[in-house]
Amino acid sequence: MRCPVCATPYLGGDLLAVAESGSRAEVRPDADWQQWAAAKDAVTAVCAHSDTTPAAPAGMRTVVIDVICTQTVLHARGRSTRLTPQLWRTTTVRTDDGWRLTDYRFQQ
């Protein structure tokens, strides 16, 4: 059963395969993420289109989009920590069901 507030419906390709596999793949292996997972903290993100997005010709089925993402750690004990905004380069692919995120890379 899919989580109704999860990003899974907006994923495609390898990202969707990993999300649906239920594996705990290390997407971003660093000490903070491991600590947050151990503490049962959650991480949310709000992203906005960046001016650095490369131009894409009309009609493309694969588009690269730069976004500025601000993540917030929602600590299990009730506090929250806003992280420094980051530039992410994303790849989206047009499918019969709409656009799907298939890849992303941290630029900063």
| pLDDT string in tens for the chain (108-residue length) | 345 457 788 899 988 888 888 766 555 556 788 888 889 998 888 999 888 777 777 888 999 899 999 999 999 999 999 999 999 999 999 999 989 999 988 876
Backbone phi and psi for residue 8, each to the nearest 5 degrees, phi listed first = -50, -40
Do the Cβ atoms of 61 and 93 come closer than 8 Å? Answer: yes
Judge whether 43 lies within some domain: yes
Report d(CA 74, CA 88) in Å as an integer: 21
Q: What is the pTM of this model?
A: 0.72
- Residue 2 included in any domain: no
pLDDT in tens, 36-59: 888 999 888 899 988 877 777 788
Report which DSSP code applies to 11.
B
Q: Is residue 3 part of a domain?
A: no
Residue 84 identity: T
Residue 52: predicted pLDDT: 78
Determine the structural domain holding residue 21 and report its residue range.
8-106
Count of domains observed in the chain: 1
Question: Tokens 């969707």, residue?
Answer: 16
Q: How far is CA 85 from the centre of its chain?
A: 13
Cα(7)–Cα(9) distance, rounded to whole angstroms? 6
